[in-house]
């Protein structure tokens, strides 16, 4: 894999374990256009890298990812920059599902919006006790279309998924663990060691048995994603064009409460 291709994702290697670090620390690793494009490619590139058996995905500094970059959304809405692409969005989700190597999410601080979706599509999720999880697409006037409508119901059931997706409310790490959204929540000081130990445990296992077990488990999840994702992303693209979304972006940048009017 050509590591130099990536700027918004830092790549580290230790034996057969690769660590991917989302890197936009000035904005809590928010996903801008560059990171979105890189996320669409990296899991497919990883599939072809025979030097790697296990992947750890994390964020730089005190956050996993604050989700989509609001400034990017504003520029896209004004026609000054290419906005989120449906093709790239599908590649991010299916890149994680198609990658045969296990992916461990290491989450500290906020995992919000697309950041939350990416964490939840990982195979095993470790979170710090300071982690927060939320999919607040509705709070910026758009549909939770980039994968939240696929993965939340599979992890926590339909009733809880609809509650959190329709409100955009955040969960603490402890609450996320309690309802089954994540695997493990540990004290922040222990997070790195716990993830390292688990990654080494997988790396010491039988790689073909592990990767094809992941593939087998993901077959049904991929069917569900194929059923839902195109529709949810289409709805999301429609709502990106609404006045409510423009109002949400403006209110966020102006630090005031949005006044939604349903158009």
Q: Residue 98: in which H helix or E strand, if any? A: helix 86-98
pLDDT-above-70 percentage for the chain = 100
Out of 146-155, 216-225, 239-248, pick the least confident: 239-248
pLDDT at position 179 is 98
Q: 5: which 2 tokens?
A: 């291709």
Sheet arrangement for strand 171-172: 110-112, 132-134, 171-172
CATH topology (fold) of 3-191: 2-enoyl-CoA Hydratase; Chain A, domain 1 (3.90.226)
pLDDT at position 76 is 78
State the helix-helix crossing angle for 86-98 and 33-47, rounded to 10 degrees.
30
Mean pLDDT of the chain: 95
For the segment 227-238, the average pLDDT, to the nearest whole number, is 95
CB half-sphere exposure, 69, CA atoms < 13 A:
23
Residue 125 sits at φ, ψ, to 5 deg, of -120, 120
For the segment 20-40, the average pLDDT, to the nearest whole number, is 96
Reference 69, options 34, 109, 30; nearest CA is 30
Other C-beta atoms closer than 10 Å to the C-beta of 104 total 22
Q: How far apart are CA 27 and CA 24, in angstroms?
A: 6
pLDDT at position 70 is 82
- Can you name the residues that pair with 171 across neighbouring β-strands? 133
Domain boundaries, the chain: 3-191
Q: How far apart are CA 247 and CA 224, in angstroms?
A: 33
Q: Tens digits of per-residue pLDDT, 56-70?
A: 999 999 999 999 888
pLDDT at position 105 is 98
17, 52 contact by CB (below 8 A):
yes
Q: 88: which 2 tokens?
A: 């790239």
pLDDT at 192 over 80: yes
First to last CA, the chain: 45
């Amino acid at each position: 894999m050509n590591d130099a291709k990536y700027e918004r994702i830092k790549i580290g290697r230790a034996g057969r374990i690769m660590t991917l670090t989302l890197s936009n620390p000035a904005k809590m690793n928010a996903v801008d256009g560059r990171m979105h494009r890189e996320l669409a490619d990296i899991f497919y590139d990883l599939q072809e890298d025979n030097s790697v058996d296990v992947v750890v995905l994390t964020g730089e500094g005190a956050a996993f990812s604050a989700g989509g970059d609001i400034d990017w959304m504003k520029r896209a809405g004004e026609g000054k920059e290419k906005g989120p692409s449906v093709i790239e969005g599908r590649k991010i989700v299916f890149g994680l599902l198609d990658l045969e190597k296990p992916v461990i999410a290491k989450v500290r601080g906020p995992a919000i919006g697309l950041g939350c979706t990416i964490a939840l599509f990982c195979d095993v999720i470790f979170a710090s006790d300071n982690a927060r999880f939320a999919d607040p697409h509705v709070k910026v006037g758009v549909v939770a279309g980039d994968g939240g409508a696929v993965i939340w119901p599979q992890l926590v059931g339909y009733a809880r998924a609809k509650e959190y997706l329709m409100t955009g409310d955040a969960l603490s790490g402890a609450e996320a663990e309690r309802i089954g959204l994540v695997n493990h929540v540990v004290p922040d000081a222990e997070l790195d060691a716990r993830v390292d130990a688990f990654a080494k445990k997988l790396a010491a296992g039988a790689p073909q048995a592990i990767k094809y077990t992941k593939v087998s488990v993901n077959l049904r999840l991929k069917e569900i994603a194929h059923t839902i994702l195109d529709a949810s992303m289409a709805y999301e693209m429609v709502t990106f064009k609404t006045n409510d979304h423009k109002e949400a972006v403006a209110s966020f940048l102006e630090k005031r409460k949005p006044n939604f009017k349903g158009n």
